[in-house]
Amino acid sequence: MTTTKANLTEFEQQLVDKAIGAMENAYCKYSNFKVGAALVCDDGEIIIGANHENASYGATICAERSAIVTALTKGHRKFKYIVVATELEAPCSPCGVCRQVLIEFGDYKVILGSSTSDQIIETTTYELLPYAFTPKSLDDHEKETEERKHHNDHNNKE
């Protein structure tokens, strides 16, 4: 849903401000495209992240993953929100890799914001990546594999 910063709760507005502030920590000497993120852990701790580019572009890490990895390192596994901000007037959506990393930890609120306008997009991790491959996909596969094995074992005994 597209809205404006004024329609967010005070807490959500503060998160957008934290994500915008995190942009100052971005290391983006190649693209000059600053991105900041503010991740709210299940216990309420807020962890920020910024994008960090590398001359070997594949080694670049996005702000969203920067925040998630920091949270994981601190022992967090459940999240309530992630806010992502850029300097673009229209909010910018996370890349595909970030969407996959975000959804690894379930469905939670995503707010996309801007440091240059009041435009906001509110969504969720599941809405960002419908039909995602998640830990549940692996659980389902394991269960189905076990059922097939059991079925084959039963048929081979006959």
What CATH number is given to the structural domain containing 124?
3.40.140.10
pLDDT at 153: 63
pTM: 0.87
pLDDT at 94: 98
Contact between residue 41 and residue 76 where contact means Cβ atoms under 8 Å apart? yes
- Residue 56 assigned ligand-binding role: yes
Q: Which entry of 24, 64, 142, 158 is annotated as an active-site residue?
A: 64
User: Could you tell me if residue 75 is inside a domain?
Assistant: yes
User: Could you tell me if residue 156 is inside a domain?
Assistant: no
pLDDT at 152: 66
User: Could you tell me if residue 144 is inside a domain?
Assistant: no
User: Could you tell me if residue 11 is inside a domain?
Assistant: yes
3-state helix, strand, coil in the chain (%, to 5): 45, 25, 35
- Residue 93 assigned ligand-binding role: no
Q: Which residues, including other chains, have CB under 8 Å from residue 23's CB and lie 6 or more apart?
A: 34, 35, 36, 50, 63, 85, 86, 87, 115
Q: Which range marks the domain in which residue 38 is found?
A: 2-130
Within the chain, which residues score under 50 in pLDDT?
none
How many CA within 13 A on the CB side of residue 48?
A: 17
- Residue 92 assigned ligand-binding role: no
User: Could you tell me if residue 141 is inside a domain?
Assistant: no
User: Could you tell me if residue 151 is inside a domain?
Assistant: no
147 has catalytic annotation: no
How many CA within 13 A on the CB side of residue 57?
A: 2
User: Could you tell me if residue 135 is inside a domain?
Assistant: no
Q: Residue 68 has which token pair?
A: 């998630």
Q: Are strands 109-114 and 79-86 parallel, antiparallel or unpaired?
A: parallel
Q: Residue 94 has which token pair?
A: 């996370």
pLDDT at 4: 94
CA–CA distance, 68 with 62 (Å, rounded to integer): 10
- Residue 54 assigned ligand-binding role: yes
| Number of domains observed in the structure of the chain | 1
User: Could you tell me if residue 119 is inside a domain?
Assistant: yes
